[in-house]
Amino acid sequence: MSIESSDPPALVAALRHGLGAATTSVPLGASDVGDVSNLAGYDSLFGFLSVAILDGAILVEDDDVRADLLQRWHKNLLTCVVLEALIVRTAVILDDAVVTWRLTKGAALAHLDYADPAVRTFGDVDVVIHPDHWTTALDVLRDSGYTRSNEGIGSDYDRRYGKGATLTTVDGLELDLHRRFAIGRFGVTSRMAEVFEPSDTIVLADRSIPVLAPTYRLLHACYHASLGGSRFLRALRDVAQLILVTQVDWEETFAVARRWQAEAVVASAIIESWQRLSLDFAHPAHVRATNTPISRADQRSLQVFRTNDSFRAQALTAVGAIPLTEVPRYLWSFASHRLKSAR
């Protein structure tokens, strides 16, 4: 599997800093500052960048540039506390309605997988909702003033095959509710009820918040890295962080992925993480990933997610992964969903 990349060297250095890889200081030259700042802004990377600068892994000669990057990190940190307040308010609503749910991605990883949560900043809140409680969760959140910002409410496709819904608060904060980790080929074969069986917790503002267990945090990170659309470095750092620093039982993650017919997703995420972050040391998880046979159908699907961000193209990768008898229903519900969305 070949992955071409043109990531700025200073950004790669920032994202590999703290992973145990041998490092030499990388200068952030004046000609790269614009690109690095833009990418860091889009992917919420100022924590990684600032810590690498403060630790001397990235050299910035211009004091104004250094001050600007640190200031942008501070803005990211302010956003994080605002979002954590949203998590606590959301927890009250979901727990009162006896909804089974787990926090995932940004805030969960920041607190459980990074030594200092300030390094791993985030721009929205992600929670996974138990499939049996999906409708209840949507109802109680809507009753509390959250509005759904994407289409498909109530469609058969949404219920049976959808990835989830993005809700927005009155002050513009985003809450992503996940029913699956992806649409398409690797989403329809998932068994989401499994992810609620074990659990971690974090405490925010004296409230216990349920979080995906390590095996599933890594699995979700791999789904995001391989199928999340934009090929940004933070998702790859999360995969490497969970394997190298948290030391998640990645073999268990592969075992779950095998049951979900999604080994290609995990293997692809690990291979791309090692490649794009220039992790040039051997690790058994990387060896396992490179030795994972990936079928041509899986390769084609991964490629669709890598190069084509159209919902239609990604959703149609499911045909071939679902039983033949279910294909007509899938296509019908997909077409109905598209018609409903177009209205």
Partner 1 sequence: MKWSRAKSVLWRTAPGYLALMTPDGAPSEIHGPGAEVWSLLEQSVETETLVDAIASRYSADRDVVAGDVRRLLEQLHTDGYVDRIE
- 88, 255, 335, 339: residue in contact with partner 1 (rule CB under 8 A): 88
Contact 215, 256 (CB under 8 A): yes
Complex with partner 1: residue 54 or 339, whichever CB lies closer: 54
Site for partner 1, residues 13 to 52, rule: CB under 8 A? 50
Site for partner 1, residues 94 to 113, rule: CB under 8 A? none
Tell me the closest approach of the beta carbon of residue 64 to partner 1, in angstroms. 17
Binding status of residue 74 toward partner 1 by CB under 8 A: yes
Complex with partner 1: residue 17 or 337, whichever CB lies closer: 17
Beta-strand runs (E) in 118-205: 125-129, 147-148, 164-168, 174-178, 200-204
- 37, 40, 48, 84: residue in contact with partner 1 (rule CB under 8 A): 84
Binding status of residue 85 toward partner 1 by CB under 8 A: yes
Of the candidates 94, 116, 307, 130, the residue with the CA atom closest to the CA atom of residue 208: 94
For 7, 180, 248, 309, the CA distances from 174, given in Å and listed in that order, are 28, 18, 28, 20
Of the candidates 137, 135, 127, the residue with the CA atom closest to the CA atom of residue 97: 137
Contact 175, 125 (CB under 8 A): yes
For 21, 163, 257, 267, 302, the CA distances from 186, given in Å and listed in that order, are 31, 11, 9, 13, 9
Select from 9-17, 30-38, 199-207, 301-309 the region that touches partner 1 (CB under 8 A).
Answer: 199-207
Binding status of residue 73 toward partner 1 by CB under 8 A: yes
Of the candidates 342, 245, 340, the residue with the CA atom closest to the CA atom of residue 285: 245
Angle at alpha carbon of residue 183, lines to 185 and 287, rounded to 5°:
55
Beta-strand runs (E) in 142-258: 147-148, 164-168, 174-178, 200-204, 207-211
- 19, 21, 59, 77: residue in contact with partner 1 (rule CB under 8 A): 77
Tell me the closest approach of the beta carbon of residue 147 to partner 1, in angstroms. 20
- 1, 82, 193, 255: residue in contact with partner 1 (rule CB under 8 A): 82
Select from 25-33, 69-77, 148-156, 177-185 the region that touches partner 1 (CB under 8 A).
Answer: 69-77
- 65, 204, 245, 319: residue in contact with partner 1 (rule CB under 8 A): 204
Binding status of residue 70 toward partner 1 by CB under 8 A: yes
Of the candidates 224, 44, 43, the residue with the CA atom closest to the CA atom of residue 128: 224
End-to-end C-alpha distance for the chain, whole angstroms: 41
Binding status of residue 89 toward partner 1 by CB under 8 A: yes
Complex with partner 1: residue 150 or 169, whichever CB lies closer: 169
| Interface positions with partner 1 (CB under 8 A) | 50, 54, 70, 73-74, 77-78, 80-82, 84-85, 88-89, 117-118, 204-207
